[in-house]
Amino acid sequence: MTEINSLIQLQDVDSQLMDLEELQGDLPSKVEDLSSRLEELNASIHSAKARITEIDSEIRQLEGHESDRRTKVDKLKDQLYLVKTNREYDALMSEIDHLEEEIDTEENRELDLMQEKEQLEEKLKFDESQIGELEIELKTQAGELEKRVASSKEQETLLFQEREKIVPTINSRFMSIYDRIRQAKNGIAVVPIVDHNCGGCHLRITSQHEAEIRNGEGVYQCSSCRRILHWINTAKA
């Protein structure tokens, strides 16, 4: 088998593999996107629940501190009736004022935490409602993808086996050229000459090059798109 014939066969196999991949459409990316969104939602839900637990704990601590301080304030206020000097009175009032300021600060902090908790609970409720919908959609899309993959698996396996047989028959230099062109030209590296033109970019092929390509003994590339050219014998028997 000549080098060009091996390249033609390889392109045919690779084109069939591309067709099988296209049968899956955008399902792989959809499944991946849904999986990522589910992962992000679950992480968000976990984070929100953990923060709510922290808030509840901090609120309980604040309530405990407030209760202790109020008890102290009540005791100090009772002591006001027992003091005998202005100095003692002023000292007690200063301590009472300080404790009440701390109580105000803690109450404001508590209000902020309750507001944050309310916002988190609203978001948590929304996220949890989205989880169910996404799980159903992911199951549907993943199931369809699995069916399409399964239906083409046998054919794909045979094509890869055929590819493994063809590749060793191609010179490593031409194989490198082929791979580079496929990557640059949407998977199509080998094209026929059609009406004296390149089947890829439609550049006019000179008569001399066309004759050499028709001979089929070498590997020739289009001078414009660099695709590998081959001749198709359209003559009728």
Over residues 122-143, the pLDDT tens digits come to 999 999 988 988 888 888 888 8
Q: Give the chain's domains with CATH numbers.
A: 24-150 (1.10.287.1490), 172-230 (no CATH)
N-term to C-term CA, the chain = 23
Contacts of 225 (CB under 8 A, 6+ apart): 185, 198, 200, 201, 203
Please tell me the distance from the alpha carbon of residue 183 to that of residue 166, in angstroms, as a whole number. Answer: 19
Q: Which pLDDT belongs to residue 86?
A: 93
pTM of the model as a whole: 0.53
Q: Which pLDDT belongs to residue 141?
A: 83
Q: Are 100 and 108 in contact (CB under 8 A)?
A: no
With cut-offs at 50, 70 and 90, classify the pLDDT of residue 187.
very high
25, HSE (Cβ side, Cα atoms, 13 Å)? 10
Nearest to 31 by CA among 142, 144, 132: 142
Neighbours of 225 (CB within 10 A): 19
Pairing outcome for strands 190-194 and 228-230: parallel
